[in-house]
Amino acid sequence: MPELTAESTASQHIARLPLTSQQTVTIGRETACDLAAFWDSNVSRRHAEATLLGNRLQIRKLGTASNPLFFQGREVESCEIDAGEHFVLGTTFFLFSDVESVRSSTPAQPVEEVAFSPEELRRARYIDADRRIEVLNHLPDVIRGAHTDQELFVRLTTILLAGIKTADAAAVVSLSGDSSPKIEHWERRLDVGGDFRPSTRLIKAAVQEKAQSILHLWESSELQHADFTVTQDFDWAFCTPVIGAATRGWGLYLAGRFDRSPLNQDRKAVGEQHLRSDVKFAETMAEIISAVRWGNQLERQQAGLRQFFAPIILSSLGDGFDTKILEPRECDVTVLFCDLRGFSKQAEDSRDNLIDLLDRVSQALGVMTQHILAHGGVIGDFQGDAAMGFWGWPVASDSAPLQACRAALDIRAEFAKTAGQKDHPLADFQMGIGLAQGRAVAGKIGTSDHVKVTVFGPVVNLASRLEGMTKQLRVPILLDESMAEQVRGRLEDLPGRIRRLARVLPYGMQTPVTVSELLPSLEVFPDLTEAHLESYEQAVAHFQEGDWERAYSALHDIPPTDRAQDFLNLLIAQHNRTAPGDWDGIVKLPNK
């Protein structure tokens, strides 16, 4: 059915209008028009009228229109266009199309059919190479700049005619299954008249049957007449398939005539020499189209997948998206568990505005996930107002503990920054982070009905418990013993410091854990100097040995603003600075 399509060259707006014979439709910016280009300020409110007369569309500019009407690059008051042609108003082009199948205007049987092998085309020499290369240089930008396939087809036919001077007409055609070929868009040179109906046989041979460039040559009795006038008849046509997953069924179709000047007696031989060069150009163009389209499609696919998979997973999956890498396996991982502080109070205060609370919590989770992903981690789970990330899968890495620590420090820094901004959505939130390392099963985990990429094992529970302990020990970031040992030996690679806090037995667990705090560097956090940290470590040593008097004395060298000392000071004060008789150096935590 005939239709008129309006497409913006400056945005992604598009509008279509089916056409009925003898019906006059209005075109303009106001929505009351039959076809409204409301997005284009250069289109007048009521700009033009269009009437379908047979197979042609008659366009007339209205007297009320202040801006011009362009057809074939010229300003006109009115024009008649064939299917496949377009006119321009403002920054919008209007394409007249008819979705009827291709009807052949060439003889069913060509005099000669030539199939070009890749080796033959490699040997062919470019004629007018500089101009053709210049045209090809612009092709990737032209493809990427097209907002829709229809806009791309229009641009490609223009480039085909610019690169193949011997062609009188060019088209992008498509073929799907057993259906007839379809002309997506076609153009002809201004000095060439008549209709344009590509050869169905040629398109099927090139795109479907042989998947290679095919050339058809015909003989025309009109070649004998010196007073030959240009018609729709062609001496030659070739079709080049655009092979690729993103361009399946596409073809580039070119048609033209040999030089019919009486002075050119060897026109066919000279013409065929040029045609080899033309086919080579079309093949190169088809390869670029396929590669750029595939790249664009892959980029769009990965943009969608980034919401579900971390960059490191996408990189491991590769272009072929091999999901075998997602199968669960046992490996060494570093787990980060981050939870919000103050959420319960915020939930109580915001019970009449839960949407606002959800938005603020989402922003807080966004801070966590942003830094986990930025440092090569994988988001394993969300639990209400908490996020869990992990490192060491799908790619094992010796730097996983350091990457996790960098992520934790960046999360702490961002929450500390917003805490001082009263009007900031995260101003009332603080966070606690637990970091642990150990063996776990990572990958695609779940049931037959639902799976997710995550990590499973005791190390996950330990990281969660460490996060909970940050409340009791009054510090933002806690590390387990394994993490602390590894990071201590590589502090030169980390913008942070570590201090041992205590040996504790978490509530409900049977194995004690030596916990350490991860602190920012001295430049970032000068409140605690290296001397302060050394005094604290001495206090911890005295505390574990049972010499609580000396521990109490060493703790008094620490600035009172440091909350970590409160944990030990409170225990020491409760026992009058004397360790219990059965003291074994382990603090048994009374709750989670």
Say which amino acid occupies 502: A
Neighbour count for residue 346 (Cβ, 10 Å):
19
Confidence at 223, pLDDT banded by 50, 70, 90:
very low
- Residue 351: the pLDDT is 66
Q: CB within 8 A of 504, min separation 6: which ones?
A: 469, 512, 513, 515, 586, 587, 588, 589
Category of 321 on φ-ψ map: left (φ > 0), alpha (ψ -120 to 50) or beta: left
- Mean pLDDT, range 27-45, rounded to an integer: 89
Confidence at 221, pLDDT banded by 50, 70, 90:
very low
- Mean pLDDT, range 531-535, rounded to an integer: 94
Confidence at 586, pLDDT banded by 50, 70, 90:
very high
- Mean pLDDT, range 84-102, rounded to an integer: 76
Task: Write down the residue that tokens 């919008």 correspond to.
Answer: 92
Q: Is residue 42 packed enough to be buried (19+ CB in 10 Å), middle (13-18) or exposed (0-12)?
A: middle
* Residue 241 pLDDT greater than 70, yes or no: yes
- Residue 191: the pLDDT is 53
- Residue 525: the pLDDT is 92
- Residue 6: the pLDDT is 85
Determine the CATH number of domain 318-494: 3.30.70.1230
- Mean pLDDT, range 524-532, rounded to an integer: 93
CB 17 within 8 A of CB 25: yes
Q: CB within 8 A of 26, min separation 6: which ones?
A: 33, 34, 35, 46, 48, 49
Share of the chain above pLDDT 90, in %: 39
* Residue 236 pLDDT greater than 50, yes or no: yes
- Residue 234: the pLDDT is 81
Mean of pLDDT over the chain: 83
- Residue 508: the pLDDT is 82
Q: CB within 8 A of 447, min separation 6: which ones?
A: none
The predicted-structure confidence for 461-496, as pLDDT tens digits, reads as follows 999 999 999 999 999 999 999 999 999 888 888 889
Q: Which of 118-127, 231-240, 460-469 has the highest mean pLDDT?
A: 460-469
- Residue 445: the pLDDT is 85
* Residue 584 pLDDT greater than 90, yes or no: yes
- Residue 572: the pLDDT is 93
* Residue 336 pLDDT greater than 60, yes or no: yes
- Mean pLDDT, range 398-416, rounded to an integer: 94
Confidence at 104, pLDDT banded by 50, 70, 90:
very low
Q: Which of 11-15, 149-153, 554-558 has the highest mean pLDDT?
A: 554-558
Better pLDDT: 146 or 302? 146
The predicted-structure confidence for 39-74, as pLDDT tens digits, reads as follows 888 999 999 999 999 889 999 999 989 999 998 878
* Residue 591 pLDDT greater than 90, yes or no: no
Q: Return the beta strands (E) in 447-541 as ranges.
A: 451-456, 477-479, 496-505, 513-520
C-alpha pair distances (Å), 545 with each of 115, 483, 566, 587: 89, 24, 19, 12
- Mean pLDDT, range 369-375, rounded to an integer: 93
Say which amino acid occupies 512: P
Q: Which of 268-282, 368-382, 430-444 has the lowest mean pLDDT?
A: 268-282
- Residue 100: the pLDDT is 47
- Mean pLDDT, range 122-146, rounded to an integer: 80
Whether the full predicted model's pTM is greater than 0.75, yes or no, is no
- Residue 105: the pLDDT is 46
Neighbour count for residue 413 (Cβ, 10 Å):
14
| Assigned token pair, 227 | 């007073």
Share of the chain above pLDDT 70, in %: 84
* Residue 588 pLDDT greater than 50, yes or no: yes
Confidence at 3, pLDDT banded by 50, 70, 90:
confident
Q: Classify domain 112-302 at the CATH topology level.
A: Beta-Lactamase (3.30.450)
CB 391 within 8 A of CB 403: yes
* Residue 324 pLDDT greater than 50, yes or no: yes
Do the strands 496-505 and 513-520 form a parallel or antiparallel pair, or are they unpaired? antiparallel
* CATH class for the region spanning 2-98: mainly beta
Query: What residue ranges do the domains of the chain occupy?
Result: 2-98, 112-302, 318-494
- Residue 265: the pLDDT is 46
